Structure 1
């Protein structure tokens, strides 16, 4: 949380701007910091997920749209916000899962804060999330262009094509520095590239997995070259595993976890090593379940 608020605080006055793209926009300290930035003359603009998802049977609210709206209204920044609907041609659109803030100075992108953390209590305090501040103007400019495409309500298929043009090449090991890839992707090429990097790493491997480990990365943890492989996970199994296949899937993950090269820290109440309980956090609010593996923008830093 401190990193997010500190990044916003860098926008000191009228020469600065903040461009926010959010899936969940329901964390009051975050919204309050944006309002404070606006009050000191910063050009603040916010896009959040406004997809008309089916209402929750208990609350009657569309998640996260209705809470996003309520936060913007309650914090007095509704005029700064725009709702993003990913597809207008389907009844239940895919989520608009970007989570980044672009800092501009003098009208030009200067830095970007990105990562896997939703702007919600669960996203910041309850899940195994990270944020990255990329102090590279070239990278920040790419994110700024991505934000502009979202603001223009670019049609979904066209958006894929345009974002693919922003991707840094990913056919070889990146040089020292920061490389960025954007989603949605037109293919699984980027995911395969990440898996290739993970499998071929000769030193040590450190990865976070929000809700499950993709099969491509299971192979990296099973047969990868790294002699030490860490994984930080919320759960060993994610949602959607059929009941009759759950035990076999769990046995497979436990076998992977017990390999001498692997160290898995799982954010639940199962105690299999001293690290498990250390990372367990229980947020006061609800924790969103969302697939960040295919719909969020990523940075790879080497």
Structure 2
């Protein structure tokens, strides 16, 4: 694992440690092969998965040499290796460093912006080569933690990790989603005073949504599409799939649809994780907008 300083690499490593991984940060690159081979480890003793973090501060950090070394390791039959890059927009990194008043490792007496630009140029070959890239520009720390758990909290090696989520368009698009479905064409329960403070997890809200004549035919098409697509993704080696349903505020239509879709996908043999980004957000007129514009 590598990435831009301030993008969240340490946070991601902490999550993996909580999941039972062995984690090492800023490990000398020249010792990587020796660490992975671990001649002192008994071959018949299971070992925890290992996460190794490195960045521009790491001794012996030369991107071309790192790529060559990791390629050699990935070619070994006894190792399953994933290379991850944690990225973030430069302005957001600058804001984070200004808030914490920490010194950027590549600023060297220069403005933070110049240090960020120098590091991005240095790391670009690694970003292009990485199998998994996580952009944390619009992510809070807890969102990054949840995403890393979605990627790696699976007990079945090689299984595709499937996430079904809900969100509110008024609060921004999800930063990472493979398939996004807009449910704003459905009648909005928000405009029913009795349902306004409820959510898509309440039966009354679900009944309201299901009464919309547009719900059943569209939902069935989406469900059939996903049941057909997901095995095809898996056969192509896609390890992570995130399906997101959006509505205006992220509390009613998207929540109900995500919950129901997750249930139907389980019935079809999949094992989705469900996340509701804006479920705890307060319903508000300024978010939901005018009835005609919703």
Decide: shared fold, TM above 0.5.
Answer: no
TM-score range, shorter chain: under 0.3
More RCO (CA 8 Å, sep 6+): 2
Structure label with greater radius of gyration:
2
| TM-score normalised by structure 2 residue count | 0.24
Question: Relative to total residues, which structure has the larger strand share, 1 or 2?
Answer: 1
| TM-score normalised by structure 1 residue count | 0.24
Question: Relative to total residues, which structure has the larger helix share, 1 or 2?
Answer: 2
